[in-house]
């Protein structure tokens, strides 16, 4: 793999049932590229949580995944309502997800904490009423 590989996925915000398809797809790509199971697991879980967040809160968005031999970088961009208080949103258990989402098992306030837990670096840039960009890096060990 001499050149970094780039994968881009449109995350459909209309269809909650299909959320997770991009993560499952990237998992397959990484597996066929021969990455270690633990690396694949970390990337795909972090990306899944991000995908779910974009569907719940932002009406969808775009996920870009840059795959290098030594690291995998995920950038999630949406044009949703933004996050007014990032520190608060990062707290385990804090959630603004609506009841309909909670009833299917999401909205536990663990999405962003999980994304941080499973990555080596996570940077959130957000502007209220403009959107949010989440950058995550997983180092290949």
Please, what is the minimum distance in Å from the beta carbon of residue 124 to another protein?
Answer: 17
Residues 52-111 that bind another protein (CB under 8 A): 52, 104-106, 108-111
Binding status of residue 9 toward another protein by CB under 8 A: no
User: How many whole angstroms separate alpha carbon 54 and alpha carbon 71?
Assistant: 23
State the nearest-atom distance from the C-beta of 63 to another protein, in Å: 14
To another protein, the closest distance from the beta carbon of 2 in angstroms equals 29
CB 129, min distance to another protein, A:
26
Q: What is the 3-state secondary structure (H, E, C) of the chain?
A: CCCCEEEEEEEECCCHHHCCHHHHHHHHHHHHCCCCHHHHHHHHHHHHHHHHHHHHHHCEEEEEEEECCCEEEEEEEECCCCCCCHHHHCCCCCCCCCHHHHCCCCCCCCHHHHHHHHCCEEEEEEECCCEEEEEEEEECC
One residue of 12, 23, 119, 126 binding another protein per CB under 8 A: 23
Q: Which of 7, 20, 39, 120 binds another protein (CB under 8 A)?
A: 20
**Which residues here bind another protein, judged by CB under 8 A?**
17, 19-20, 23-24, 27, 37, 41, 44-45, 48-49, 52, 104-106, 108-111, 113-114, 117
């Amino acid at each position: 793999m001499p050149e970094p590989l780039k994968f881009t996925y449109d995350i459909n915000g209309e269809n909650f049932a299909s959320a997770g398809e991009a993560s499952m797809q990237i998992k397959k790509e990484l597996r066929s590229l021969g990455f270690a199971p633990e690396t694949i697991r970390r990337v795909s879980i972090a990306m899944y949580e991000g995908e779910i967040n974009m569907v719940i809160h932002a009406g969808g968005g775009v996920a870009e995944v840059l795959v290098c031999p030594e690291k995998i970088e995920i950038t999630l961009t949406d044009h949703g309502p933004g996050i007014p208080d990032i520190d608060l949103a990062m707290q385990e258990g804090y959630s603004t997800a609506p009841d309909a989402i909670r009833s299917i098992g999401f909205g536990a306030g663990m999405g962003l904490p999980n994304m941080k837990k499973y990555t080596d670096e996570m940077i959130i840039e957000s502007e209220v009423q403009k959107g949010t960009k989440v950058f995550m890096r997983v180092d290949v060990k």
